[in-house]
Amino acid sequence: MTAFEMTHVSMTYGGRRRRVRALDDVSLSVEEHQKWGIVGQSGSGKTTLLKILAGLASPTSGQVRLFGRDLDLKSADVMAELRSSVQMVFQDPRSSLNPRMKISSIVSEPLRSPLVRNRPDMPTDHAARVAEVLRAVGLPPDCGDLYPHELSGGQRQRIALARALAPHPRILLADEPVSAMDVDVRAQVLNLLNSLVDSMGLTLIMVTHDLSVVRHTCDHVLVLNQGRVVEWGPTSTVMGDPREEYTRQLLASTIRRRTV
């Protein structure tokens, strides 16, 4: 089944004087259980794309479908489906975790959402579900009484991951989930994300500028440059034998950075 489908999606920001075209005629089809990496340099429109999928922004033109249904942000029915099946992990847990909330209430927040609460398969025992997901992300279940600043950076991102997984989503969106971490923690968090997505049978759409992250985790990749799709396909094909000059440059730049 097709999880997400974008057809000819464009997005422009700004007023009359300065218009910024963040996305320009982007089409993308994500099948269920696939793991997509959206790559590109900063300003390529990859975060905008994720925001549209998360229902945080509406495209200027084009169509977005979630499980075959038109993603109409004004329809309560569609929003209920979106909010209960799509969750998101943000880049920096220092900003994505409310510093004045305890870990347990941060993780249980999606469970308390009125759009999710009434789903029949929803766990009613929030405390038990919180303990369960905390264990799943490799944290002691009794850390629920702590505040975010009492944890390390890697642990905080695990909390963000636990929050996203708590309401049993089918699709996980991730915006540069490891780029704010120290290098040694990155691999840990990325491995965890990868194994949880596999074991729970989720669909992953991850935005990153780091091609090594894509190579490690994703089976499909979409390359964006200045809001336009440069190239897309299975990771091995795109990265093993890139057809476009821009992709080659992107690959070369990461390889150069490695050797330095």
Partner 1 sequence: MKRLTVIVGLVCSGLVVLAALVSLVWTPYNPRRVDPGHKYAPLSWTHLLGTDMQGMDTLSRLLVGAQTTLVVGVLAVAIAAIVGVPLGIFVGMGHRFVGEVVARGMDILFALPALLLAILLAAATGASVGTATIAIGVSTIPIFVRMTRAATLTIMNQDYILAAQVSGTPTPVIAVRHVLPNIAPLLGVQAAASFSMAILAEAGLSYLGLSAPPTTPTWGRMLKDANIFIAPTQAVIPGIAIAVAVLGFNMLGDGLRDYLDPRLKEVR
Interacting residues with partner 1 (CB under 8 A): 54-56, 79-80, 83-84, 86-88, 90-92, 95-101, 109-110, 112-116, 160, 163, 167
**In angstroms, what is the minimal distance from the CB of 44 to partner 1?**
20
Tell me whether residue 84 or residue 155 sits nearer to partner 1 (CB atom).
Answer: 84
Tell me whether residue 149 or residue 257 sits nearer to partner 1 (CB atom).
Answer: 149
Tell me whether residue 84 or residue 225 sits nearer to partner 1 (CB atom).
Answer: 84
Q: Which residues contact 164 (CB under 8 A, 6 or more apart)?
A: 87, 88, 89, 110, 172
> CA 183 to CA 189: how far, in whole Å?
10
Query: Tokens in use for 69?
Result: 């249904």
Report CA-CA distances (Å) from 238 to 30, 41, 219.
16, 17, 10
**In angstroms, what is the minimal distance from the CB of 145 to partner 1?**
17
* 8 Å CB contact between 31 and 2: yes
**In angstroms, what is the minimal distance from the CB of 153 to partner 1?**
14
Tell me whether residue 84 or residue 217 sits nearer to partner 1 (CB atom).
Answer: 84
**In angstroms, what is the minimal distance from the CB of 142 to partner 1?**
23
Torsions phi, psi of 140, nearest 5? Answer: -65, 135
